[in-house]
């Protein structure tokens, strides 16, 4: 029996068959392929998106939520450009959504696993496509283009005697133009998992 997450992805595949992939490519900045499919880089890996679904081009295993995020993004009707201004994901909730302002549980594992490991963190983020932006008071800022039009700021805060190490993830203010809040939360979960697994294995692929 398929898990709930697998069922979500499977429900999206029929919708992809009705996509105008050339229009999507132009609007979202994806790369069209000769066979009509789309190509996109997500968290350091190349994927093909077609009427058959979402698949990593190297054929290695991938978490089903990565596939769902890319399917939702492709099916989005969003348009425009990034704002290059970053906010916590809680700022992007839609009308009628009640979401706790205490969202640190989503990224808490990163601070615990990478405490005192900024070199490993920086190597990991670079493998996933991140670009160093500069040093901050008590930390470091990185920019990650999770997808064309959806930019993330990732801040690594050094721990000290008073406060533990913390890794914060901020979304471009216009990210909600392209994906609904629930999908952005999926994306953040995919990123957190990718950071953890890449840091532990030294590889961006081969795990789910």
What does the pLDDT read at residue 103? 58
Q: How far apart are the C-alpha atoms of 117 and 64, rounded to whole Å?
A: 29
Measure the CA dihedral 74/47/168/178, to 10°.
-10
Residue 182 neighbours by CB under 8 Å, 6+ apart: none
Which three-class secondary structure state does DSSP give residue 123?
A: helix
Domains in the chain (CATH in brackets) are 4-75 (no CATH), 86-201 (3.30.310)
pTM (predicted TM-score) = 0.92
What burial letters (b/e) apply to 76-109, b meaning 16+ CB within 10 Å?
bebeeebeeebeebeebbeeeeeeeeebeebbee
CB-facing half-sphere around the CA of 188: CA atoms within 13 A: 29
Instruction: Show pLDDT as tens, one digit a residue, over the chain (208 residues).
Output: 468 999 999 999 999 999 999 999 999 999 999 999 999 999 999 999 999 999 999 999 999 999 999 999 999 999 999 999 999 998 988 655 445 545 567 899 999 999 999 999 999 999 999 999 999 887 999 999 999 999 999 999 987 778 899 999 999 999 999 999 999 999 999 999 999 999 999 999 989 8
């Amino acid at each position: 029996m398929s898990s709930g997450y697998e069922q979500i992805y499977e429900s999206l595949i029929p919708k992809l068959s009705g996509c105008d992939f050339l229009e999507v490519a132009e609007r979202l900045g994806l790369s069209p392929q000769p066979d009509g499919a789309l190509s996109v880089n997500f968290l350091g890996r190349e994927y093909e998106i077609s009427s058959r679904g979402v698949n990593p081009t190297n054929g290695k295993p991938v978490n089903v939520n990565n596939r769902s995020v890319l399917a939702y993004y492709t099916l989005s009707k969003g348009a425009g450009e990034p704002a290059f201004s970053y906010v916590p994901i809680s700022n992007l909730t839609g009308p009628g959504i009640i979401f706790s302002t205490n969202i640190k549980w989503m990224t808490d594992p990163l601070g615990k696993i990478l405490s005192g490991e900024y070199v490993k963190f920086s190597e990991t983020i670079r493998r996933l496509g991140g670009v160093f932006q500069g040093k901050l008071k008590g930390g470091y800022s990185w920019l990650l283009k999770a997808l064309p039009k959806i930019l993330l700021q990732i801040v690594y805060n050094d721990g000290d005697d008073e406060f533990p190490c913390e890794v914060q993830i901020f979304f471009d203010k216009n990210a909600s133009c392209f994906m609904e809040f629930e999908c952005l939360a999926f994306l953040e979960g995919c990123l957190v998992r990718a950071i953890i697994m890449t840091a532990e294995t030294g590889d961006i692929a081969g795990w789910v």
